[in-house]
Structure 1
Amino acid sequence: MTTRAWWLVVLNFVLPGSAQVLAGNRRLGRFGLRASLTLVTAAIIVGVIYLFWPEAVLTVFTNTIGLWAAAAVLAFYALTWLVLTVNTLGLINLRRAAPGARPIIAAFSAALMVVVCGTAGYGAFFATSASGFLSSVFVAGPSEPPVDGRYNILLLGGDAGADRDGLRPDSMSVVSIDATTGQATTISMPRNLEDVPFSAGSSLGALYPEGYGSIDGCDVSGGCMLNAIFTEAELKRPEYYPNAVAEGSSPGVQATLEAAQGITGLTIQYFVLIDMQGFSELIDALGGVDIDVQNRVPVHTDEYFNKVLFWFEPGMQHMDGYHALWFARSRHGTSDYDRMQRQTQMQEALLAQASPANVLTKFQGVAAASSRVVKTDVPQGMLGYFVNLASKTKELPVISVPLIPENGVDPEDPDYSAIQAMIAAALEPAPTPTP
C-alpha cells in the first residue's frame, strides 16, 4: 500500500485528475484531467504565439480585462488542485501505509499542495494587483499611430516646492523611439530656453505667436522660460485647455507638450509626468540604481548650500532613491547642463536596469510607488506594443541629443530652425551598407 500511495501522490502532482481516474471518483478525475490538459494546451498555444507574435500576448496581459481573466482562471485552478489533492489523500488511506512512511507521505503531499495551489493563488493575486495598477496609472483612450515611423514621448519631472508657484518641471526631454527597431533618441531640453515657439494650432501659442514671452512678457514670475509654460497654463490659463483633464492630461502638460513640439519639430503622441518628490520611492522599489559618476557631485545639508554632507565620487556607485534624486537634481557647483546630462544618464540607467524580471520580483513596491508618482496618457491598449518595443530598445545604445551650448544652442537666443535640423539629423536612420 505504501508504493500505491506514493504513485497516487506523484500522479496527482504530474497530471491532476489521473489519480481519481485510476483509483477513485472517475467523474471527478475526468473533470480534473480535462482541466489540466486544457491548461497545458493553452500554455503551449500561448507560448507558440509569443514566439511569433509577442505583441499579441503582451497586449492581452497588459490590460485590465486580460489580467482579470487570468486571475479568474488561476483562482479556478488553485481551487481545483486543492480539491483533487485532498481527495487524493483520501484515496491513499494512510492508515494502510507503512507506519514510518505515513508522516512523510502526508508532509510531501501537503508540500506539493502548497507549491501548486500557492503558486496559482499568488498568480491570481498578482494579476488582480497588476490590473489595479494599470487602472490607476494608464488611461483607456485610443491608440495613436507612429508619425514618420516613430513614437515620441514627452518626459517631465518636477515638483511643487514650498518656494514655487505650483508645479514647475525641472527635467524635460523627448524620447523618440523608432517604431520598428526600438532605437531610442533622448532630446534633453534645458528649462531656461527662451522665446519658445509652440506647434501649429496651440492654444497658448495663439497668445504668444512670436514665442513665449518674446513681446510683452508672460504671466508668471521667475522669467519667461520653458519651464514656466507649465505653471502659466496650469494656474493662470486653464481655460485654454478645457478638455485636458477629461483626456487624462492637464493644462500645464498640454501647453508644455505643444512647446516641446514647437522646439523639436516632432509630433508628440504621449507624455509621462513624474513627481520628483516621490521619484526616490520608485528607485527604492526597484532596489536602487547603478550609476557611473563622471565628476564629483555634492550633497548638501541645507537649502543655502553652505555645508556639504558628502560627495558622489567618480566611478560606479549604487544609489538608493534618496541619493539618486540628489545626484539627478544637484546643481550647486555645476551648471544646468551638467544636471541635464546626469538626468539623461539616470534615465538610461533605469531603462537598462528595470528588466522585466526585476520589475516582476519587486512588483508590489514598484506598482505602489508608480501609481503615486507617475501620470501619463499612454493608453492601456498600447502597453503590449511598448513593452515589446522596449525589449528591442534595451539591446541598442540610446542616442542623446542635449540642447546645450556645447551643441551650439544658446538658451537666451536659440535658433529653433537649427535645433530642429540637428534633431532631424540625429533621427535619420543610418544608411544600409552596400554588400
Structure 2
Amino acid sequence: MREATEERTAPEETGRGAALIGWVALSAVLPGAAHLRAGWRRTGTLLLVCHLSAVTSVILVAAGADAGLAGRALNWLSQIAAVAWAAAVAWFCLILHSYLVLRPRRLPYRGQVATGLIAGVLAVASAAPFALAARYLTVSRQTLDSVFGTPVSGPRSHDPWAGRERINVLLLGGDWGRDRVGVRTDSINVASVDVRTGETVLLGLPRNLEHVRFPPGSPMERRFPYGFELPESKPGWREDLLFSVWQYADDHPELFGGRRGMGAETLKQTVAYTLGVPIDWYALVNIWGFAKIIDALGGLVLTVDHDIVFGRYDEGLLPAGTRRLSGAEALWYARSRTFSDDFARMRRQRCVFNALLAQADPAAVLRRFSEIAAIARGIIRTDIPRPMLEHLVPLAWKVKRAEVRSLQFMPPTISTVHPDWERIRELTAKAIEPRPSPRRRTRASAAPSATAPISDGCGTPHP
C-alpha cells in the first residue's frame, strides 16, 4: 500500500511543478496571469491592465511611426535606455514574484529546487532582451555623441534648412593612421540632396586634380594665386594635387594666422569653389578602418575581375575570381596602385563600399554591435552637428526612395591635368537644377544628361 501511494503521488507532484512553471512562463508574456491564478486579483488585474495598455500604446506608436519620429528618437536615447533598464529589472522581479505567489513551498524539497532554478532561468531570459536593448542604446548614444559632437549655434528654427532647397555634404575617404603622416583624401565626392524630394546627385572629383584653384581672398589663394603648385618632393612624386589640400593646410597654420586644424575647412571651401555650390558639412571615413568592420562582419564576397598585385614590394596577389576576402584583402583590392590608375582604383573602391552595404548581415551586426560601434568612433570624422541628425534621418529616408544620379569629373569629360573650371561649374549647375515631375519628364523630349543612375562599376546596379 505504501509503495502504491508513493507511485500515485510522484506523478501528481511532477504535474503540480509543471503547472507552476507553466503559469510562471505565461506571466512572462502576460503579466498578472500567475497572480490571478494564486488569488491575487487586484495585483493580477492591475499588472494585466498596465501590460495591455503598454502593448497597445507601443502598437499605436509603431503604426504611426515615420522617419521623423526615428530622427527625434535619436535625442531620447538616454531616456529610452533608462526605460529599457527599468523594464529589465521589472520583468526579472515580476517572474520571481509570480513564482513566489504560487506557493512553491507546497512542493517537496526537490520540486522546490527544480522549479526555483527554472524560474530563475525564466527571470533572466525575460530580462535579457530589455537589458541588451538598453546596452545597444547606450553604445549608440556614446557613438553618436563621439562622432557628431559639434554643437549648434544660435536658436533652433522650425526650418532646419533655413529656406534652402538643397544641402551639400562633402564625403571623403582618407587614410590616416599611426604609421602614416597626416590625412590624404583619396576619395572626394559631394552628395547634393534636394531636401523636399530626396533626389540626390553624387558629384565625384578625382584625387589627382591638378592646379586646384582656391576662393579669391582666401589664405590658400594668396599663397597660390595661379593654382596649387609645389615642387616635386622626389622625381615623379606630386604633392600638389587635390587630395593633398587638407594635409597642406594642416601643415601650414601660419597661412591662417596660427590657427591649427584648418584642413577640413580649407578643403570644404576649395571643393565649394571648384563646383560652384556651398558645402554644408563634411564626413571623413578612414578607408583602412573599413578593414576592421569587414573582419567583424566575417569578410566580404567580391568578384575580382583580374589578378590584383599589391604590397609595398608587389609581393601580394589576389587571383581573379569570386571569393570571400578578409578586411585587409578587400582594402588591398580597393587601393592597389600596381598596374592601375586612379580611376580604376575609384571604381574598385565603389565595388567594396557597395558590397559592404549589400552584404552586411543584421544578425552579424547585432552580434558584434559594440565592437563595430567602437571601430566607427575611431574611423569617422565630421562636422555635422549632433542635433541635425533629427532632420537628416527623415531626409535619408527620402534619399533611399528617390533617384540617385552620379556625375564624375573624369576624362574625357574633364581633364585632370588642365581642368576646365567653368565647365565643371556648368555641369554641376545643370546636374543639380530642379528636374520636372515624372509625368512632365515622360512628355519632354529626350535630351542628353550630364548625370547617370549610379552604378557600382561591377555590373550590379546600385539600389
TM-score range (shorter-chain normalised) is 0.7 to 0.9
Is 1:121 matched up with 2:137? Answer: no
Amino acid at match of 1:69: Q
CA apart distance, 1:259: 1.1
> Matched residue of 2:265: which SS?
helix
Question: Which residue identity lines up with residue 99 of structure 2 in the other structure?
Answer: L
Q: What is the correspondence of 1:335-350 to structure 2 with a 5 Å cutoff?
A: 335-350=341-356
Contact 2:38 2:102 in 1 (8 A): no
Instruction: Indicate how the Cα distance of structure 1 residues 162 and 89 shifts in structure 2: closer, same or farther if over 3 A, else same.
Output: closer
TM-score computed with the length of structure 1 as normaliser = 0.81
Mapping for residues 18-417 of structure 1, pairs under 5 Å: 18-20=33-35, 23=38, 29=44, 32-33=47-48, 35-50=50-65, 53-60=66-73, 62-63=74-75, 66-96=76-106, 106=116, 109-142=119-152, 145=161, 149-160=165-176, 166-199=182-215, 202-213=218-229, 217=230, 222-237=238-253, 240=256, 250-300=261-311, 303-305=312-314, 307=315, 309-313=316-320, 316-354=322-360, 359-394=365-400, 398-406=404-412, 408-417=413-422
Q: Give the secondary-structure state (helix, strand or coil) at the position aligned to 1:156.
A: strand
Give the drift of 1:343: 2.0
Where in structure 1 are there 5+ consecutive unaligned residues? none
2:307–2:317: 8 Å Cα contact kept in structure 1?
no
Percent of aligned positions that are identical: 31
Measure how far apart 1:146 and its partner are. Answer: 7.8
Q: Which residue identity is paired with 1:349? A: A
Shift of 1:357: 6.4
Deviation for aligned residue 1:374: 1.0
Q: Is the 2:147–2:381 Cα contact (8 Å) retained in structure 1? A: yes
**Alignment deviations for residues 157-209 of structure 1 (CA, whole Å, 9 cap, x no partner):** 22347996532222222223343444443322222212223346745345445
Alpha-carbon shift at residue 409 of structure 1 (Å): 1.3
Which letter maps to 1:284?
D
Give the total of aligned pairs: 416
Q: Distance in 2 between matches of 1:167 and 1:95?
A: 69
Alignment partners' CA distance in 2, 1:392 and 1:351? 18
1-structure distance, mates of 2:181, 2:47: 63
Distance (whole Å) between structure 2 residues aligned to residue 45 and residue 366 of structure 1: 32
Which residue does the alignment assign to 1:425? 430
Aligned partner of residue 271 in structure 2, secondary structure: helix
TM-score (norm 2): 0.77
Q: Aligned equivalents of 1:356 and 1:428: distance in 2?
A: 37
Q: Note if contact 1:230-1:253 (Cα within 8 Å) is conserved in structure 2.
A: yes
CA RMSD of aligned residues (A): 3.5
Decide whether aligned partners of structure 1 residues 8 and 164 sit closer, same or farther in structure 2, where only a CA change above 3 A counts: closer
Secondary structure of 1:168 counterpart = coil
The CA distance in 2 between the partners of 1:238 and 1:124, in whole Å, is 47
Query: C-alpha displacement at 1:122, in angstroms?
Result: 1.2
SS of 1:193 mapped into structure 2: coil
Contact 1:219/1:236 (<8 A) preserved: no
1:395 and 1:319, CA in 2 relative to 1: closer, same or farther beyond 3 A?
farther
1:233 CA drift (Å): 0.9
The letter of the residue matching 1:366 is: I
Answer yes or no: is the 8 Å Cα contact 2:209–2:416 preserved in 1. yes
Alpha-carbon distance in 2 for matches of 1:17, 1:140: 47
Change (3 A) 1:199 1:356: farther
Q: Secondary structure at the match of 2:213?
A: coil
Larger Rg: 2
**TM-aligned CA deviation for residue 86 of structure 1:** 1.0
How far 1:340 sits from its partner (Å)? 1.7
For 2:60, the aligned partner's letter is I
2-structure distance, mates of 1:423, 1:359: 37
Shift of 1:117: 0.6
Contact 1:203 1:241 in 2 (8 A): no
Cα distance in 2 between the residues matched to 1:201 and 1:359: 48
